[in-house]
Amino acid sequence: MGDSLLRRFWNAIKLPPPAPRRAWEVEAPSFWTRFWEAFKPPPPLQPVALEVRRRRRWMRTGAVAALAIGALGAAAGLYIHGAPQRAEAAYQAGMRLAAAGETAIAADDFTRSIRIWPRSAKAYLERGLARRILLQGDAALADFDRALKLNPKLAAAHVGRGAIFRDRGETGRALEEFGAAIAVEPGVDSYYQRGQVYEMLGQHEKAIQDYDAAIALRPSAPFVYRARATAEFNLGDRAGAARDRQRAGEMERPPGEPAQTTELRP
């Protein structure tokens, strides 16, 4: 006898049997397992391991250090970039003091300028001139040498060296330095100083030639006229000496003051 009506109805609506699980597939968790996993409370937080905390601390420290180094580097860059301006300010302060006769303090300012900017030839030159006035001859020569290494065309440094050698009685070396200054840049001071050395050596004609060259460069330099007057007098040219002394007196006389008679003496 065939299946009953009810069995046939059940067979029509019942779910098919599950497909057999393959060997490599993971068995699905049961309904109750999935239900528990969805609603169970989360596990308590575990403390961070010591090594992890240490690494994080080093990372924070490194980040702060990097920022600090970057800020210091930027500040150092700005400071170095402003060195020429700060050196120039110290140099100008020294020049003002030197003009006021504060030679020792001026030398300190030139030293400060050199420390800020060691390649400043003019700071070495001015410190050398100040040290010469302070009778620090060897130190002055060292400064002039350094100035010439930085700027070989600095004629004033040769003049400063020549003046020291002349003061020491080393007339040959003095003439060499004044000649080097003239070769670099002919100037009133270099011609005048070399003329003074020639006059010391009794070479009056050479002295007059240098004084002539100085006057050609600066016709309003009374000290050169007086020096030439001395050389002319020593050569027996009393009239020429009188004229040069009169010219020097006219240049030095304040306006409105009457002229004075020039004496014929060396």
At position 181, the amino acid (one-letter code) is A
Q: Average of pLDDT values for 49-72?
A: 67
pLDDT at 258 over 60: no
pLDDT range class, residue 22, cuts 50, 70, 90: low
CA 152 to chain centre: 18
pLDDT at 191 over 90: yes
Contacts of 107 (CB under 8 A, 6+ apart): 94, 127, 130, 131, 134
pLDDT range class, residue 13, cuts 50, 70, 90: confident
pLDDT at 104 over 60: yes
CB-based contact 202:180 (threshold 8 Å): no
Provide DSSP, 101-168. Answer: T-HHHHHHHHHHHHHH-TT-HHHHHHHHHHHHHTT-HHHHHHHHHHHHHH-TT-HHHHHHHHHHHHHT
Residue 48 has what pLDDT? 55
Q: Which has the higher per-residue pLDDT, 20 or 71?
A: 20
The DSSP 8-state label assigned to residue 218 in this structure reads -
The per-residue pLDDT of the chain, averaged, comes to 84
Residue 40 has what pLDDT? 72
pLDDT at 76 over 80: no
Tokens of 64: 């702060």
CB-based contact 134:164 (threshold 8 Å): no
Tokens of 249: 């007196």
At position 74, the amino acid (one-letter code) is A
Calpha distance 214→198 (Å, rounded): 14
Calpha distance 25→36 (Å, rounded): 22
Residue pLDDT, tens place only, 195-246: 999 999 999 999 999 999 999 999 999 999 999 999 999 999 999 999 999 9
pLDDT range class, residue 19, cuts 50, 70, 90: low
CB-based contact 194:175 (threshold 8 Å): yes
CB-based contact 220:249 (threshold 8 Å): no
Residue 256 has what pLDDT? 58
pLDDT range class, residue 66, cuts 50, 70, 90: low
Distance of CA 56 to CAs 49, 60, 113, 228, Å? 11, 6, 48, 86
Residue 30 has what pLDDT? 73
Tokens of 247: 């010219």
Residue pLDDT, tens place only, 118-139: 999 999 999 999 999 999 999 9
Residue 212 has what pLDDT? 96
pLDDT range class, residue 49, cuts 50, 70, 90: low
